[in-house]
């Protein structure tokens, strides 16, 4: 396991900040070293947590040509038929995966193919389970077309804690199943939009692993 490139600046900044806070507490309480020790221990634990948030696990890809793999780690919080109005403008099956701060926050392509659409939207930071978070929050939408012509839309959604979504997808880019396509900093959600009639293989509240769990067969 390594540290993801998106974490380098944040981890370095937090190390400097937390060290400065620890030294300040030590300076202000010279006669009570136990306070500095306790505070330093807590702040060091916080820094270790931030490092773990940006972890990048060495994980084998469960490649299957007809399968839709989970694009993120987390819990399935929605499986429902909705109107997708950004690209398809038709009814689709939406599968939503919620990522807690404890999950790996790398996002992976659920299928192999060509990127047909990629767009970033500035927006609000409603909690990830809010009904309007998928349309009003900061988000990034990607559509990939398989060789058989079937298209899958997936959307990164920032939440109340997450303040930045990062997408590497470029229109015309050829991508492999399980390739990285982005990162969401400090939480939130990824939605997948599937054609009606798709065989969904997961259930509400099920924990899934990116690159490994089969979300659906198409």
The catalytic residue positions are 188
Q: What are phi and psi of 152, to 5 degrees?
A: -125, 130
CA-nearest of 125, 153, 120, 154 to 137 is 125
In DSSP terms, which residues pair with 207 in a beta bridge?
75
Please check whether residue 214 is in contact with residue 142, taking contact to mean a CB–CB distance below 8 angstroms.
Answer: no
Q: Tokens in use for 121?
A: 């939207």
Q: Cβ(160)–Cβ(125) under 8 Å?
A: yes
Neighbouring residues of 67: CB distance < 8 A, sequence distance ≥ 6: 214, 215, 216, 217, 218
Helix (H) or strand (E) holding 190: strand 188-194
The C-alpha atoms of residue 155 and residue 61 are separated, in whole angstroms, by: 21
The token pair that represents 96 in the structure block: 């939503």
Place of tokens 């007809």: 66
Side-by-side strand order, sheet with 106-108: 106-108, 180-185, 164-167
Contact of 200 with 96, CB cutoff 8 Å: no
């Amino acid at each position: 396991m390594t540290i993801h490139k998106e974490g380098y600046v944040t981890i370095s900044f937090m190390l400097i900040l937390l060290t400065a806070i620890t030294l300040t507490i030590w300076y202000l309480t010279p006669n009570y070293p136990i306070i500095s020790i306790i505070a330093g221990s807590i702040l060091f634990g916080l820094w270790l947590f931030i490092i773990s948030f940006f972890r990048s696990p060495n994980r084998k890809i469960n490649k299957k040509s007809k399968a839709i793999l989970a694009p993120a780690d987390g819990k399935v919080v929605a499986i429902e038929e909705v109107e997708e109005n950004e690209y398809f403008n038709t009814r689709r099956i939406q599968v939503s995966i919620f990522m807690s701060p404890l999950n790996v926050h790398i996002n992976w392509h659920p299928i192999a193919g060509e990127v047909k659409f990629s767009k970033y939207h500035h927006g609000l930071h409603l909690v990830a389970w809010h009904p309007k978070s998928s349309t009003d929050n900061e988000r990034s939408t990607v559509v990939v077309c398989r060789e058989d012509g079937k298209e899958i839309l997936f959307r990164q959604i920032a939440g109340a804690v997450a303040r930045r979504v990062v997408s590497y997808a470029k229109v015309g880019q050829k991508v492999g199943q399980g390739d990285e396509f982005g990162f969401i900093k400090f939480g939130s959600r990824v939605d997948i939009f599937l054609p009606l009639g798709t065989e969904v293989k997961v259930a509400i509240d099920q924990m899934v692993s990116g690159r490994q769990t089969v979300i659906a067969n198409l």
